[in-house]
Amino acid sequence: MYRHFKIYKPYGYLSQFVTNQKTRKNKKMLGELYHFPEGTMSIGRLDEDSEGLLLLTTNGKLSALITGSKVEKEYYVQVDGIITSEAVEKLQEGVDISINGKKYQTLPCKATLLPDPPSFPDRGKKIRDPRHGPTSWISITLTEGKFRQVKKMTAAVGFPTLRLVRVRIGEEHLMEMQPGEVIEKEEFSL
């Protein structure tokens, strides 16, 4: 019988369970948050400095199905500056970013300005001092997932990412979860 989990990956954790040769030994791993069964794997990843919804499973076929399909992933992104409607439009149409040193055009996506900042728990590390200028929040929904894609996309339109929180994968939502919280599920709603 397979087991499935949704977690709120906190800032500062790697989306993995064991260290490898490239990983420094003092890094925080998912296994420190909960006693997951052997064979648990993350479905997709979030960077160490990104946070939010992460799905885990012991079913490798399910993991491959979700990462290889067109399941929507929604991110709330705090960017440096007050993002313009032109920049949001460019994100919607697709922008050129670099993947492994090669130019890549992102697929069209959903991107909207959030009228109010979301009410996430404070992050362990301060984003930055407000005296350095204003910030704004946008929602970006993708069906692809290239390496650091969202951060590269916002930088490409002139508004670098300061904080990135994944809030949805398919029909699974972060909702009111707290950083480090783990919920075991019978199955995922995708």
Query: How far does Cα 23 stand from its chain's mean position?
Result: 20
The predicted pLDDT at position 49 comes to: 93
Instruction: Report the number of distinct structural domains present in the chain.
Output: 2
The predicted pLDDT at position 64 comes to: 83
Please give the average per-residue pLDDT across 77-94, as a whole number.
Answer: 97
The predicted pLDDT at position 21 comes to: 58
pTM (predicted TM-score) = 0.93
Residues tagged active-site: 47
Comparing 52-56, 61-65, 83-87, 159-163, the range with the smallest average pLDDT is 61-65
128: pLDDT strictly greater than 80? no
- Reference 147, options 54, 18, 59, 47; nearest CA is 47
> Do both 35 and 50 map to the same domain?
yes
Residue 145 lies in a domain: yes
Please give the average per-residue pLDDT across 56-79, as a whole number.
Answer: 89
Residue 165 lies in a domain: yes
Share of the chain above pLDDT 70, in %: 96
> Do both 64 and 122 map to the same domain?
no
